[in-house]
Every structure is written in structure tokens, then in C-alpha cells.
A and B are shown apart, each in its own frame.
Chain A
Amino acid sequence: MRKFLAILVCRVIKVIGGFVGKGTSLPGKYALKLCPDILARIQKPKMIVAVTGSNGKTSTVEMIASVLKASGKSVAYNAEGSNQIEGVATMMLNSCSLSGKMKQDVLLIESDERYTKYTFRWFHPTHYVITNLYRDQLTRNGHPQWVYDAIRESVFDETTLILNGDDPTVSLFGLGRENVLWFGLDHNSVDTEKFVGAYNDGRYCPVCGKTMRYDYYHYNHVGSYHCDACGFERHATDYTVTDVDLEHSKITVNGKDEISLAFRSIYNIYNILAAYTVCILLGIPGEKIAALVSNYILKNGRYIEFRLGKHPGTFLISKHENSISYDMSFKYAIAQGAPCSIVVIVDAVSRKYFTSETSWLWDINFEQLEHPLIENIYLCGKYCNDLAMRFSFTKIAPEKIKVFEDIDAACADLRENGSQQLYAVTCFSDKDKFMSNVTVK
């Protein structure tokens, strides 16, 4: 009876919430109050796939869902990105019958990395993807090892782990375990022999603490690592990007399946590979997956084309408090090969909670912007002074840097004095303050 009531309440609130624009976590929250073990009591599909990690959760889940749907499989998933237990409950209770039965082939869950243990207290995934673990929202998350410990509490013996073998912290989950499938990238054209970044979290072995060596890096501390002291090393991968051809925007998986990239970033490559791996395990043929994810444009698009006066531009959504996402965006902008202006905006550090903390700016590899293609750099928003201070410690010529607290004023100046091509790099929390000044194609 409580189960029925909880499902009903969840749906009613979801409908009401839909009218006021709040309907992803509140319904689940009330349902869980009425019936705390409701998630255990729902009859779930045989296949339960969970995805967690610092980056790429939403994109990976979206691609898996898209492939499954196009392959004739039914799937319930939290498309709206509400990824704590309340959001998962909202999704599950709206996807089941009133008697609590989910009839879909697959239950697919994006799970917040720090709170995933609360969701999986009530049921266990059959397949669990962990994408990567690195410095992200440290004002809430503490640090990556803290998050690792939190995820650990949601990893159960019977679950098949699907791990990014190129990330040493993620790989720890697979130590001494049989039911693990590994994905990763072979040595490829984007690699560097030397570490590139403002800090190296892969310098010491996460198992024994001794110095870790890398044969090559894909980006930051993600790559091919080994520890001579204890033998910890990158595990051989089961699902592998065997070739990366960024020039022609394509990758090859397992030596046979070619996939075209709508967005030429290494993040996108990892997300595609994780999605490919899951879909193979769910019985979809590789060539079919490759066709379906080829040129896939994400709904939660991480880039938007715009125009500001006579200037074409690309908005690259990054995440505040996540230095690697900035590193990636700058790398992408430079790789496009056009002389350009870069706009960096830090106005509201978070849209979800208060903080005035800007230490993370020192973790961003702004040094890569010292590049002949970067003609000028606009530092904008409330924390433009912190940005300017950080930039004063790079080798970038000070005359290339303009500082604007007011984002509208920066846009007015860009219109007049910006380079032909523009790249705007900031977080969701500051996106609209910039986009209100431009025309989206």
C-alpha cells in the first residue's frame, strides 16, 4: 500500500512540478519519505547499468540511451541529469506500473559520484561504469580520493565493473577483482610523452606511494602508467580506441569500428568508448553502435556556435571548479588552428551553492594560451581580478589581456576589438550572462 501511495504521490508531484519547472528530484524526495525502501521494492529490469565519475556521466548515459532506443530496446533513464537518489527515484517511479513493475529492457542510471552509495543501498547495478576521477568541485567533494572512498561503498561483488583503465584512480576499483571490463585508448596521435598540466595527480602510485612512471599521457594524469615498486599498472583493455584521427574527425574502436566525431575532443572520445562498451555488453553489434554514435550531437551540447557582430564564435561549456575541463576547452580552441580571442568568465562559481573560492584557477593550465594563435584574452565577471592575478603568473604578454568585471562591456569591446574568431569558455552558471549578448546560429 505504501509502495502504491509513494508511486502515486511521485507522479502527481511530477505533473504539478512540470508546470512550475521543478519536477526532477522533488517527487522522488516525497516518495522516499513515504516509503524509504521504495527503490528496493520496485521490480526492476534484468539489466541495470549505472554510470558515475567526475566527467562524462550525462553524455555517456545519453549516448547509451540513444543507441538502445534506436536498436529497439526500451530503456528508463534519468535524462534530466538529476542524479542523486531523489532524481533516480523520480525517474524509476515514473517509469514503472502502478503496481511497481518496470517493463523496460534496461534501467540506466547516471549517478552522482559522491552520493551513489545512497542510491545503491537499495539495489545493485548489474553493470557499473566509472568514467574518471579527478579534481572536480573540491569545495563540496574534498578531493578525488575522498570521492573514490565514497564510490567504493557502492561497489558490490556481483556487479560487473566497466572501468577506464587509463585513469589510475579508477583502476584501483578493479584490483583483485575478476568481473571487470576495461576500456581505454591505445597510444595515439593526441598523446604526449611529458606531463602537461598545472598539477600531476599521477606522480605517485595510488597503491604504494612510490614514484609512478608513464609511457605516455593522453591528457593530464590519464594515460599509460606503471609502478616499478609494487607492479600496479594500466590494465590491458577489452574495449579500445585503437586509432585517433583528429584531422579527419574519426576514431577506430577495437581495430574495426570507425566512428566519426561531431566534436573533436578527447572527452568525447572517452564518452563514446564507454557508451560503445556498455552497448556491446547489452548485445548490440559493434558496427551498429558505431553507425549510431557517429556524428552524434549531444543534447546537452557542450559547445554552441554563435555570432557577435561580425565575429563567428564558439561557446565551449566548461565547469568551474574543474580545472581539466578548462584545459580541454583551451586545447580544443587552439587545435582549431584559427587566430582567435579567448573569453574566460568567472562570475558565479556555482549555480547550486554559494562559494567565493577561486583556488581552482591555479590548477588550470592557462600557460597553454601562450600561443601565437591566441591574439587576446578577455577575463570577465566578478572574479576577473582573481583571474588576472592568476594570468600574471603565466608568460602571456600582459598587453594581450583585458580585464572586465562587466560581461556586457567585455562583449561590446569584443565586437570592436576582438579577433575574427572568438571562443568563450565558462560554466553553465555563467553561460547566459554571455549568451544574452550574442546571436545563436
Chain B
Amino acid sequence: MELKLLHLYDDVMNLYGEYANISVLARYLTDLGCAVSVDTLSLYEEKDISGYDFYYMGSGTERKQKLALSQLAKYRDALSQACEAGRVMLFTGNSFELLGDKITDADGTEYEGLHLASFETVEGKRRITGDCIASFDALNTELVGFINKCSKTSGVEQPLFEMQMGYGNEADRGAEGFRKNNCFGTHLTGPILVKNPAMLQYVATLLGAEAPERVSYPFMVKGYETTISELRKRMETMK
């Protein structure tokens, strides 16, 4: 099976090592026997972005997120069609805010979003950071990650995760991220597909890879076990 992956704005939305999500997914799919190609769309590049099997974007500074938005606007229809067609799309960190109706920055300036869904984000002057444990109803495994944002997102119809530890869309714990068809948005930052073997497997399944459980990476599994055990201990001490 041939699979085409597209990493959007890897040159600006790359604040927390997000490129690793694409690296690990490409390796995994290849090891599962797929013919994988990876493309990037850089900030001022113009090209046809339709026809990819997987779309990904990571986090950027608040300014770079707006810069990305200014360029991404012209791809609104292509992204919207991909989402409607059930293509697998993952937006981590503040890139997921771009898919909503609007973002208001800390000074009150409003930026129109891509309207893939009808949520809104408001940025503030306080940084919200912390280690997280998230549960995801499609999986019976808890996910680990880190939140690093300065915003609250409201009006999400279908959240992605339920936070057991860490900040959600609007408050400590509770609903986090957004989902529409196979388009996933979460404020978990960094290489979440490396940190969470179950999530990697889930994405590969959606992409049509057969029996993905055949391939696993022991360091990745052990790394996950270390982190989830550290985070559970941390959650206990915080209670």
C-alpha cells in the first residue's frame, strides 16, 4: 500500500521536536510494509496539497502561529475537503487552534480561523504548562504528554481527550482537543506519536495498515512505561 504524508509548516511550527511524529510514523508504516513518501509544505511555498493520506502540523510561538495562519488561509478548502473525506489529520499544540472560527490574541486582536469546526480560542498572558495524562475513548490505554500554551478554547463540539492530569481546553482537567471525522486536534505538544505507542498504532490503523500490532519498538514501549509510571506517581502526590 502506498501512503503519502504531508508535514505542514515543519519550518515554523516546530517548537517542541514535532518532526519526530512524522519520522516515527513513516518508519512504522514502512516497517508494516507500506510504501511511504513524506512531503513538507514550507511557509511561503505554494503547491497542491490535496491527495495526501496524512496531514500533520505541530506547535509554534504565538507569532509564528499567526504567520502560519496568514499563509494557510489559501489552503482552507483543500484542508476542509480532506477532513470531510475522512483523511487522517493531526494537529498538535497551538496548530489545532487554526482549525476553529477565530483566535483572539492577548492584546485583543482577532484572527479568522479556517472554520473546519466552530470553536474559538482566546490567548492570555499566563503560560499554562504541565505534564499530562489523557484518556481517549478509542483506546483503553492512557496517553502521556505535555501541555504548553497560553490560551483557552471554547465551543468544541467533539473533544478528543479527557484529561486525567493536566489542563484541558478551558480548565484544569476535563475535555481536551477536538475531533471531526479523522481530523484530530490536541494541545499536547511534541512527539506524541513517539511517546504513545498506542496512539501511533491507532493512526496506522486509520491509515489502513494491516495488523499494526506486528511491529513494535521496545525502547518506545519502555519509554512510555517509564513516563506513565512517573506521571501516575506525580498525580498521586498532587491529590
Q: Which residues of A contact B (CB under 8 A)?
A: 135, 138-146, 198-200, 203-204, 209-211, 354-363, 382-383, 385-386, 388-390, 392-393, 403
Contact = CB atoms under 8 A, between A and B. Distances in A.
B188 to A, nearest CB: 10
A250 to B, nearest CB: 37
A354 B234 contact: yes
Interface in B194-225: 194-195, 217, 219-220, 222-223
Given A142-B148, A143-B15, A203-B11, A389 B189 contact: no
Given A203-B12, A389-B220, A140 B234 contact: no
Nearest to B129: A139
Nearest to A391: B219
A162 B195 CA distance: 41
B171 to A, nearest CB: 20
Contact of A355 (B127, B146, B195): B146
Contacts of A383: 223, 226
Q: Give the top 7 A-B pairs by smallest Cβ distance, nearest first.
A: A362-B17, A359-B190, A385-B223, A388-B219, A385-B222, A359-B17, A145-B61
B14 interface: yes
Nearest to B19: A362
Given A203-B12, A211-B44, A385-B223, A356 B127 contact: no
Contacts, number: 101
Interface residues of B, number: 40
A141 B128 CA distance: 10
Interface of B: 11-12, 14-17, 19-20, 23-24, 27, 43-44, 61-64, 67, 127, 129, 131, 144, 146, 148, 150, 189-191, 194-195, 217, 219-220, 222-223, 226-227, 230-231, 234
A354 B150 CA distance: 20
Contact of B223 (A203, A362, A386): A386
- Interface-central residue, A198, A382, A385, by most chain B CB under 10 Å: A385
Given A140-B129, A383-B226, A392-B219, A360 B17 contact: yes
A386 B222 CA distance: 8
A363 B131 CA distance: 19
Contacts of A204: 11-12, 43, 64, 67
Contacts of A393: 20, 23-24, 27
Given A146-B150, A358-B223, 15 more contacts: A138-B16, A138-B148, A139-B148, A142-B150, A145-B62, A146-B127, A203-B12, A204-B43, A355-B131, A359-B17, A363-B17, A389-B220, A389-B223, A393-B20, A393-B24
A364 B131 CA distance: 21
B148 A362 contact: no
A27 to B, nearest CB: 28
Contacts of A139: 129, 146, 148
Nearest to B66: A209
Contacts of A382: 226, 230
A356 B20 contact: no
Nearest to A209: B67
A356 B231 contact: yes
